[in-house]
């Protein structure tokens, strides 16, 4: 093989490797959780979407803003063939709700609400409830001082769907 072609191939090879590394780097950046959020929700944007359409703000809206909800289960684990959710949700289920002030998916997240199905929460429908907020996108998220019992006092209104308001048929 002639030396010039060999040289060109080498260059192409290095360029390909650099491009691949760049893509991997950008992907990890995109998956990085904002600081202050718990690591067990890392990668939640790849989880199953509970609502397909963004839920907009309403009057008397407890989680004011534009909401997207994710669950750490495959559809086949939590729904029947007609896409009706099966209740109760299995132990270990985590639901994350991200809230923004605008509908744009790239605008800053102002609130993260989390429900975790875990033992020790028998008085709150077997769910642990916690919410995080931040004052600006440069700041860390911090937990809101709102007892899980108060979250549940409203969520218990969705008793027929295991205290979860949003079901697949909200699509």
Instruction: Report the interface residues with ligand HEC, using CB under 6 A.
Output: 55, 61-63, 67, 69, 95, 97, 113-115, 129-131, 144, 146, 150-151, 154-155, 164-166
Query: Which CB, 69 or 117, lies closer to ligand HEC?
Result: 69
Query: Which CB, 2 or 120, lies closer to ligand HEC?
Result: 120
Query: Which CB, 3 or 69, lies closer to ligand HEC?
Result: 69
Q: Which residue, among 41, 170, 165, 60, has the nearest Cα to 114 in the 3D structure? A: 41
Query: Which CB, 122 or 138, lies closer to ligand HEC?
Result: 122
Q: How far is the CB of 61 from ligand HEC (least distance, A)?
A: 6
Q: Give the integer Cα–Cα distance in Å for 105 and 108.
A: 8
Query: Which CB, 25 or 146, lies closer to ligand HEC?
Result: 146
Q: Does residue 107 have a cis peptide bond before it, meaning omega lies within 30 degrees of 0?
A: no
Contacts of 89 (CB under 8 A, 6+ apart): 71, 73, 78, 117, 162, 164
Asked if 63 contacts 99 with a C-beta cutoff of 8 angstroms, the reply is yes
Q: How far is the CB of 129 from ligand HEC (least distance, A)?
A: 4
Q: How far is the CB of 83 from ligand HEC (least distance, A)?
A: 16
Q: How far is the CB of 106 from ligand HEC (least distance, A)?
A: 21
Q: How far is the CB of 110 from ligand HEC (least distance, A)?
A: 14
Distances (CA, A) of 169 to 50, 70, 82, 138, 166: 9, 15, 10, 36, 8
Q: What is the DSSP string of 77-95?
A: HHB-TTSPBPSSPPTT-EE
């Amino acid at each position: 093989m002639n030396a010039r072609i060999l040289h060109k191939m080498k260059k192409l090879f290095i360029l390909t490797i650099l491009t691949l590394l760049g893509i991997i780097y950008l992907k990890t950046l995109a998956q990085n959780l904002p600081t202050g959020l718990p690591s067990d929700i890392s990668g939640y944007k790849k989880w199953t979407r509970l609502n397909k359409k963004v839920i907009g703000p309403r009057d008397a809206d407890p989680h004011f803003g534009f909401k997207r909800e994710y669950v750490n289960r495959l559809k086949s684990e939590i729904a029947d063939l007609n896409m009706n959710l099966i209740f109760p949700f299995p132990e270990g289920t985590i639901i994350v709700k991200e809230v923004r002030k605008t509908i744009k998916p790239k605008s800053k997240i102002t609130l993260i609400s989390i429900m975790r199905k875990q033992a020790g929460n028998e008085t709150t429908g077997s769910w642990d409830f916690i919410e995080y907020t931040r004052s600006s996108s440069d700041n860390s998220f911090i937990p809101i001082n709102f007892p899980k019992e108060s979250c549940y006092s409203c969520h218990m209104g969705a008793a027929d769907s295991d205290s979860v308001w949003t079901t697949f048929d909200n699509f």
